[in-house]
Amino acid sequence: MKQQDVLRHVTTPLANPAYAPVVPRFTDREYLNIVYRTDPDALRAIVPEPLEIGEPLVRFEVMKMGDVSGYGPYTESGQAIPVSFEGERGEYLHAMYLDNFPATASGREISAYPKTIGSPKLFAENGALVGTLDHGSQRVATATMGYKHHRLDVREAEAQITVPTFMLKTIPGYDGSPRVFELVRTEITDVVVKEAWTGPARLQLFQHVLAPLADLPVLEVVSASHILTDLTLAPVKPVFDYLKGARS
């Protein structure tokens, strides 16, 4: 394979790429969001500077992807933390667990999503919307919400899921020291909210050493939403370089 042909590939293995070279469009992405109050000291221990914390809140999410170009259907779950950066309010993505390897690999390599493998599920059962996350055979989280109890204004629903998102982009050098270490920003674009609901909700988190969601304990459930949407993810942009200690 000639050098110019090598450069046409976006990832390895060259003969069988880990993910497709596409900009994915998400159709029928279904959210279960539960915002809860947690221990402020626990938040301060994990949110990296220069991000700033306001109220000690966490958003636990389970997202069922009805169809995604390049990846197909899959489910994802994780935690996002409300933060601000230079006066702009957004969310810091703390952890994400997926049941789809191509989506996991592309999210980590191309962007900076903190993705790893897990077994999340989202389904309706006996009048409740149920979201679960397992790590191997062990339960990590169980979320329940009253199924379509009250309509949520679509503008409020769109505002919930389109806040700017901040993540850490890390690429080690060959000696293990950091080669790239940046805070990056992205957001959701081209959003069509099809349905939006709210209602009573509960959330349980269980201790697991490799999926430590419970390190941010649930002290009080603040709000919940159930949203069905189509959307696209914008490319990430660096906003702070840790190796230079300055804005990118």
CA-CA-CA-CA torsion sign (168, 38, 211, 102): negative
Query: What is the pLDDT at residue 248?
Result: 64
Is the distance from CB of 204 to CB of 141 less than 8 angstroms? yes
Q: Is 115 a catalytic residue?
A: yes
pTM (predicted TM-score): 0.93
Alpha helices in 2-54 (DSSP H): 3-6, 40-46
Choose the catalytic residue: 64, 115, 148, 237.
Answer: 115
Peptide bond into 48 cis (omega under 30): no
Percent helix, percent strand, percent coil in the chain, to nearest 5? 10, 55, 35
> What pLDDT band is residue 207 in, cutting at 50, 70 and 90?
very high
Could you tell me which of 158, 155, 141, 149 has the C-alpha nearest to residue 218?
141
| Digit-coded pLDDT (tens) for 26-46 | 999 999 999 999 999 999 999
| Digit-coded pLDDT (tens) for 84-114 | 999 999 999 999 999 999 999 999 988 899 9
- DSSP string across 58-69: EEEEEEEEEEET
Q: For residue 210, list its beta bridge partners.
A: none
